[in-house]
Structure 1
Amino acid sequence: MGLLQQRCTGHLLCAVTLLEAAGALALMLYALLWEAGNLVNLPNKRVGFYNFCLWNETARELQCLEYRHLQVMGISLPVIVIARVCVYSCLVFSLFYPLFVAHVKCTEETEGWKIILIILVIKMMILSGGLGMFLFQTSHWIHPFEFTGGFMALTGTQALQLLQIFTATMYLRWATHRYPCQSPFPEEATSIEI
């Protein structure tokens, strides 16, 4: 009974990790592709990683500003580009992450879960860093109550990444108790068995 319970625990933790990864990927796809990276998407304002449009009272329409206008407003283009690269590279990591988790689960390598934790922490840092840099640059023109679905999806992604870190940590603790003698180096494993 104990062996079956241990096996079920491992499968459950892995399934939860994959479900959290799928949720985070869905939220990122929504925010960065469906919403086109727009964190504010209102009739009188559209601000995102590729758009900076404000309402023009004289023309009575939404006017998208060019890069030279943004520089005059004090927005640093290199910082915006770095923020964009960080956030969109997190999307690329998220696309390949479930495949890596499935590979590690199939091979049942305990050391692979340490790499998964490192990948999750890197994803969390680059998404938080990119979003933070963007918000710092545009904070004069965005009010907290103006954020729409794209921003909410990215913050939801961060929450799911925290849950993934917690779940992967739980799986790693479970796996180290289940396979205490497993070593990433085959020479050490054979010397332990002898």
Structure 2
Amino acid sequence: MGMGLLQQRCNGHLLCTLILLEAAGVLALMFYALLWEAGNLVNLPNKRIGFYNFCLWNETAGELQCLEYRHLQVMGISLSGIVLSRVCVYSCLVFSIFYPLFFAHVKCMENTEGWKAILIILIIKVMILSGGLGIFLFQTFHWIHLFEFTGGFLALLGTQALLLLQIFTATMYFSWAKHKYPY
């Protein structure tokens, strides 16, 4: 009886620790992609394309030339699409900043209903991040080749993977907590 209780307690602590480590990884990757890399998904000497930059190499001038929104619209890139993608991706960062506080509150209260909210928040984060990235890539796919993506894009892909892992881990914890705290 005592060993089973100890094992259950360790399982709960292990799952909580995993959730917090995954949340820290999400924050680190998002800060890297959106702040350190300034939202640039392609950051090469001859091309810089991101949520705030659209710069292409100008052969005549011999330098990188950043285009304004009116030029992007002529190229078929929607200003509203870029703004919507930016809002989605950066909203995911804001949710990620406050997520550990909400998680700690739910954990301290041992509230199984709160775990449903945690799962919903994680699913929303996955949807807005993938939606924002999808909209951005749809708008810019003519100017970006697969091999040109740099660290910012890879960090956002890693963020997606960690968010999916967090959903899995939180689901496992929710299942464990329902059995431990049936009421």
- TM-score normalized with structure 2 length: 0.98
Mapped to 1, the partners of 2:113 and 2:173 lie a distance apart of 11
| 1:112 aligns to 2:122 (yes or no) | no
State the one-letter code of the partner of 2:11: T
Mapped to 2, the partners of 1:53 and 1:79 lie a distance apart of 18
Candidates 69, 72, 75, aligned match of 1:70? 72
Runs of 4+ in 1 over 4 A off after TM superposition: none
Q: Which residue does the alignment assign to 1:170?
A: 172
Q: Which residue does the alignment assign to 1:125?
A: 127
Mapped to 2, the partners of 1:146 and 1:163 lie a distance apart of 27
How many residues get paired?
A: 181
Alignment of 1:1-194 (within 5 A): 1-180=3-182, 182=183
Give, in angstroms, the shift of residue 8 of structure 1.
1.1
Give, in angstroms, the shift of residue 3 of structure 1.
1.1
Percent identity of paired positions between Structure 1 and Structure 2:
83
Mapped to 2, the partners of 1:149 and 1:12 lie a distance apart of 30
- Residue deviations 1:30-63, cap 9 Å, x none? 0000000000000000000000000000011000
SS in 2 for 1:63: strand
State the one-letter code of the partner of 1:115: A
SS in 2 for 1:40: strand
5+ residue gaps, structure 2, are: none
Mapped to 1, the partners of 2:154 and 2:100 lie a distance apart of 23
Mapped to 2, the partners of 1:175 and 1:106 lie a distance apart of 13
5+ residue gaps, structure 1, are: 183-194
